[in-house]
Amino acid sequence: PADVKTLGRHTWTLLHTMAAYYPEKPEKKQQESMKTFFESFSEHYPCWFCKNDFKKDMAENPIDVTSRETLSEWLCRRHNKVNEKLGKKQFDCSKVFERWMTGPAN
Ligand code: FAD
């Protein structure tokens, strides 16, 4: 089985990449399905304490599916919340596209 760190690293890769490639001007249907995706994700993420905190954080900070920009920023902040909890460095959210879309894959 995957440990919490490996699972987390790979999951963030998927989530940030999804946000970076989300349309700049999404259709209503795309907005709804992205919202549904994150709701389901927070229900089924297979780390129960991560999931519980993430659900609470999502309830306090509702997802913003208006555009690629707003979704990526929202997700960056959610990830920074987890970073803070774990005593990790805060990520500069102005670098989110450089990291997850235009920059070299790491
Ligand atoms: P990660 O945090 O996995 O980050 C991977 C890469 O993303 C970094 O190298 C960096 O380049 C980039 N990055 C970092 N911060 C940001 C940001 N804010 N925005 C964009 N890119 C960024 N672990 C726990 O122990 N307890 C928890 O409660 C917990 N909750 C989690 C909740 C969720 C929804 C997820 C997906 C993971 C959670 N994790 C949790 C796992 C944890 O966040 C890390 O994934 C894990 O500790 C491995 O950390 P890492 O140092 O490899 O980098």
CA 104 → CA 34, 60, 83, 98, 99, distances in Å? 26, 33, 23, 8, 8
Q: Is the ipTM of this complex over 0.85?
A: yes
Residue nearest to atom 34 of ligand 1 (CA): 54
Residue 106 has pLDDT above 70, yes or no: no
What's the farthest any 2 CA atoms get from each other in the chain? 38
The answer to whether 30 and 23 are in contact (CB under 8 A) is yes
d(C-alpha 67, C-alpha 27), whole Å: 10
pLDDT tens digits along 10-48: 999 999 999 999 999 999 999 999 999 999 999 999 999
Which of 80, 82, 85 should be mutated for ligand 1, with most atoms under 8 A from CB? 82
Q: Which atom of ligand 1 is nearest to the CA of 80?
A: 18
The answer to whether 8 and 50 are in contact (CB under 8 A) is yes
